[in-house]
Amino acid sequence: MDQYFLFNSRLGIPLPDFKKNWEEYDLDTQHAILLHWEKIRGSIPDRIAQLEKTINHKQAELSNESNFIRSCELNSEIAELASIINDLWLWYRTHQDITSEKIHG
């Protein structure tokens, strides 16, 4: 199944990476892809929980930080982690019927 998914280092999960239109895959392949996607989707809440822990640590560090530049860096890091969480929730909510429009759109 790895040929249908590509690891996204920013999100920390594999994402669909189809080489042709969804309809061009036979039904067995579509079914296998969907099963694999459901396993990946199932891991997304755990990935989000990890990122939330990191945010909480950075927020605690920020509350004790007196260096302005480091405070700005921490704020930027927290914002990026929040953005990743948002993107993960979007992928989590992606309907089970993956189509090329949803993946490439």
Q: How much of the chain, in percent, has pLDDT values that exceed 90?
A: 85
- Condensed to tens digits (0 to 9), the pLDDT of residues 19-68 reads 999 999 999 999 999 999 999 999 999 999 999 999 999 999 999 999 99
CA distances from 5 to 18, 32, 86 (A): 7, 12, 20
Which amino acid is located at 83 in the chain?
Answer: S
CA distances from 101 to 22, 44, 53, 71 (A): 9, 22, 33, 40
Query: Among 36, 47, 38, which Cα is nearest to 13's?
Result: 47
Q: What is the pTM (predicted TM-score) of this model?
A: 0.84
**Contact at 8 Å (CB) between 51 and 81?**
yes
Q: What pLDDT shows up at residue 105?
A: 41
Whose tokens are 């990191």? That residue is 54
| Per-residue confidence band for 95, with pLDDT thresholds at 50, 70 and 90 | low
**Contact at 8 Å (CB) between 100 and 22?**
yes
| Per-residue confidence band for 100, with pLDDT thresholds at 50, 70 and 90 | very low
